Structures are given as C-alpha cells and as structure tokens.
Amino acid sequence: MTAPLRGPGFDKLRQLADVVYDPWIEQTPLRIYGPEQLAERIAAEAADVVVVESDSVRGPVFELNLRAIASTRGDPNNVDVDGATAAGIPVLNTPGRNADAVAEMAVALLLGATRHLLAADADVRSGNTFRDGSIPYQRFRGWEIAGRTAGLVGLGAVGRATRWRLAGLGMRVIAHDPYNDEARHSLDELLAEADVVSLHAPVTDGTAGMIGAREFAAMRDGVVFLNTARAQLHDTDALVEALRGGKVAAAGLDHFVGEWLPTDHPLVGMPNVVLTPHIGGATWNTEARQAQMVADDLEALLDGGTPAHIVNPEVLAS
C-alpha cells in the first residue's frame, strides 16, 4: 500500500490482509513509482493486492497475477484500466473521497479573496495596521456574500458538497453540468447571472480551456472567480487580463499547470488573488475516508460480492 491511509478503514485493511504500508507522500524526496519500479516492488513483497494514489499502474504490473488494484482517486487516471481489464484484474476507486475537503477550500478561497484576509494578516504581522495613516476598516471593506448568486460549473461530488455550504451561507446557488439533471443552467446563462463563478469540472477534451476570454467577458462586472479543480479548465492569460481590467474583482486558485506558479507571474503581484498550491484535498479526513472505502470494497471483493466502487465490473463475471 503506497497510498496514505489512516483511521478505522486502515485498521480494517490490516485485518483483511498482511499489509506492507509505505506511503509515497511520506518519502523525502517524494517517491512516485513508474510501472517497472512498481512491478519490481510488488514482486519483491509477493503482494497480490496493490493500493496506490500516485504510482503508475500499467504494463508489467498486469503480469503479476494481482487479485485487485485500488486507486485512491475518484478518476483512477494513474491506472491503465483497459490493461487491467484485459488481465482480468478488478480496479477499485474512491469517488468523492475529498469532496468535503475541496468544498471547504472553495469556501476558504471565496472568503479569503472577498474579505482581504491575506493582506489584512500581512499588515498585522508587519506592524502596518494603520498603513499610510488609514485605519483597517477603511482599507478592507468588502461585499458580503449572503444574498449573492454563486454559479457552479460542474455538479459532481465536489460541486454538490460546495452547493450546500454556499447555500448555508445565504447564497443563491445555480449550476451548469450537462451530465446532471439538477444543473438547469447553460454555461452562458450561468455566467450572466453569477456573482461568483466556481469551477468543479473534470478536465476532458470538452472542458479543457472552457473558460477563456469570451467567457470572462460574458461574466458580470466585479465577479469573483474560483478554481479548486484544475488550471487547465481556464485560460490563465485571459484571467489575468480580466483581473487587470476589473471585470474579475477577485480570484482564488488552488491549482496551476505543472503544479507550480513562477514567482514573476502576474498573478503573484495581485493583492486581490489568493493562491494555494493544490491543497484542497489535503486533510486527514480524506486519508481516512479513502481507507474506509478501499477496505469495504476489498472486503466485498474477497467475499465474492460486488464492490460499491469498481470501474471495470465486467471482470467479475469471469
């Protein structure tokens, strides 16, 4: 098991199997196995079940007569599912494992950006509470989010978890998602109505770059833009221009292409932008939740049943 796991689910896994636990995220420097390295490690441990989060599972791994592969992701894109299916190996996944965590991050970015939290914190820490003879109450006034409209682009597990949180804060919440009947707005309708636009879609051929210059121009003046999904969903250059022109009043971003942002990037110098390094799902609860999901599904599989979360159930018939 190279995925980070904890809690009752991890205890259950130890009851189900002899566990070799070596989480990738606790290694310095970080360690992510390629297929050949992972296959060598599986063979060395004589393992017949592998639980991964970031390691690449394909090719030689499928030659090892595994009983199951579990990827602690909603979309197990680190696993060659077709290859596993051809080898007759069930692939388990953990959809929604970090939905609450990412939804909380979206709320945090929204409040951080609209209530100037980082700038206010910096003034306190640097002894500039009364910067240039002004008082904080003058410099950091903002609009309340209660009574405003939030538009969610994507209404999967994270979008739904974000929806009830924003509704609980007094916001009207609308959504666009062609795969969810509860989302009744087209993208154009959402952009025309929303005071806050928050992205929660997966990156696909149809969604990559879906928010570009045209879409930013179609948003309401003074909109707040949030992306806790993937940076590939929006055109960053277009966002910068929208921020410079005032169309977008503030932004909160939890992901960047390549997993980092150059220190000389225009976004870095913008005080109305909150930037976090892809930590939306980084909670202990996420690790406990994914452990429980894997444990329950592995138990079902070993008992001859059908796991609740399996991406290739057709292998069970064989």
pLDDT in tens, 51-90: 999 999 999 999 999 999 999 999 999 999 999 999 999 9
Binning pLDDT at 50, 70 and 90, where does residue 318 land? confident
| CA count, 13 A, side-chain hemisphere, 90 | 24
Question: Quick check: 213 and 238 in contact, CB under 8 A?
Answer: yes
Distance CA 162, CA 200 (A): 9
Q: What is the pLDDT of residues 278-290, one digit of tens each?
A: 999 999 999 999 9
pLDDT at 71: 98
Which CA distances in Å does 156 have to 58, 181, 201? 27, 11, 8
Amino acid identity at 237: D
The separation between the first and the last C-alpha atoms of the chain, rounded to the nearest angstrom, is 26
Model confidence over 213-237: pLDDT tens digits?
Answer: 999 999 999 999 999 999 999 999 9
What tens digit of pLDDT does each residue of 4-59 get? 999 999 999 999 999 999 999 999 999 999 999 999 999 999 999 999 999 999 99
Sheet with 223-227: list strands edge to edge: 172-176, 149-153, 196-199, 223-227, 248-253, 273-275
Catalytic residues: 230, 259, 278
231 with 252: CB under 8 angstroms? no
275: amino acid identity, one letter: L
Q: How long is the chain? A: 318
DSSP string, 265-298: SGGGG-TTEEE--S-TT--HHHHHHHHHHHHHHH
**Whole-number percent of the chain with pLDDT over 70:** 100
